[in-house]
C-alpha cells in the first residue's frame, strides 16, 4: 500500500501523513480512530507501542 492510498483510507492528505511519519506533527484523535477502525489496530499500540 502506498502512502497516498493509506492517507486516503484514513482521511488525511499525503502531506499530513508524511508529517506524522516524520514526527513533525502528531495525529489527531480522529485520525487515530480512523486507523483503528480501518485496520483493527489498538490505539494504545499506536500511541505508546504497547
State the residue range of the domain holding 11: 3-48
Residue 50 to residue 5: CA distance in whole angstroms:
26
Among 1-5, 17-21, 30-34, 40-44, name the one with the lowest average pLDDT: 40-44
Q: Is the pTM of this model over 0.85?
A: no
pLDDT in tens, 23-41: 999 999 999 999 999 999 9
10 burial via Cβ count (<10 Å: 0-12, 13-18, 19+):
buried
Residue among 49, 47, 36 at smallest CA distance from 9:
36
Number of domains in the chain: 1
The pLDDT value recorded for residue 36 is: 95
Residue 47 clears pLDDT 90, i.e. is over it: no
DSSP 26: P
CA 3 from centre of chain: 10
Amino acid at each position: 500500500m502506498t502512502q497516498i492510498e493509506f492517507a486516503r483510507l484514513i482521511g488525511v492528505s499525503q502531506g499530513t501523513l508524511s508529517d506524522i511519519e516524520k514526527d513533525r506533527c502528531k495525529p489527531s484523535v480522529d485520525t487515530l480512530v480512523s486507523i483503528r477502525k480501518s485496520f483493527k489496530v489498538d490505539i494504545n499500540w499506536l500511541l505508546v507501542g504497547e
